Amino acid sequence: MMGCLRRIGCLVFLLMILILAIAAWFSRDWWLQMAPFGPQHAAQQAATWQSPSADGARRAENALAGLRRKGGPVFANVAPGDLVAYVLKEFSRWLPRSADSIQAAVVGDRLHIRARVRSEDLGREFLGPIGYLLAEHERIEFGGALRVIRPGFSEYRVKTFKVHDIAVPQSVLPAFIRQLSRDARPSGLSEDGLPLATPEYIGDVRLAAGRITVYKRP
C-alpha cells in the first residue's frame, strides 16, 4: 500500500515538474525579460539614456537635412535622445498625457523609451493584478524597433513593455497598444505597431551600437 502511494506521489511530482517546464517554455519571453542575467540584461545596464531637448531636436534636424539634398549623403547617424526630441510630437500622441521625464536609449537593435506617468493613465484594470500594486506615479519603459512602412509613414513596433520594472506579457501587448492608439489605426500598421509620421525622404531606419542610422529613400 505504502509503495503504491509512493509511486503515485512520485508520478504527481513528475507531472507537476512537466507542467511547470511547459509553462516556463511558453512564457519564456516574459520571464527572460525579468531575469537579472544574460546579454539583454547586460546591454540594458550598459545603455546610455538621453533626455530629449531643443538642442537635440536641432541636431537631429541638421543631421537629416543632408538626406534631402540631391547628391547628399545616403545615411545619417542620430543619437536616440535627439531623434525622440525631433519627433517628440509624434511620440506624444500615444504616450500617456501625464508622461514626463522622457528618456531614450538604443539597447541592441531596439529603441527603448521610458517615462514617468500617472498609473491611472495606464488603466489599472487593463493591467490586471499588476495594476493594483502600482503607486500613484510609476516609470514605464517601451522597447521596440522602427520600421518605415511607406514614404512619410513609419511605425514603432513594441516588443517589450514594463511598468515599474515588471514586464507585461507579450500576449497582452497588442490589446494594450490598441488602447494607446487614440486615433484610427492606418492601413499597413503592424498589430504591435504605433504610428509615426516621418519625412518622406526617409527610406529605412536601423539601430545598433547605441545609435540610430537613418537611410535616404532611393
**Residue 33 exposed, middle or buried by CB count within 10 Å (0-12, 13-18, 19+):** buried
pLDDT-based confidence at residue 2 (cuts at 50, 70, 90) = very low
Q: What is the pLDDT of residue 72?
A: 85
pTM of the model: 0.75
Task: Please give the share of the chain, as a percent, with pLDDT higher than 70.
Answer: 73
Q: What is the pLDDT of residue 71?
A: 85
**Rounded to the nearest 10 degrees, how much is the dihedral formed by the CA atoms of 181, 128, 41, 60?**
20
Contacts (Cβ under 8 Å, ≥6 apart) of 218: 203
CA-based R_g, the chain, Å: 21
Greater pLDDT, 21 or 194: 194
Q: What is the pLDDT of residues 73-110, one digit of tens each?
A: 999 999 999 999 998 888 888 888 889 999 999 998 89
Among 53-67, 74-88, 179-193, the least confident range: 179-193
Q: What is the pLDDT of residue 90?
A: 85
Q: What is the pLDDT of residue 39?
A: 46
pLDDT-based confidence at residue 203 (cuts at 50, 70, 90) = very high
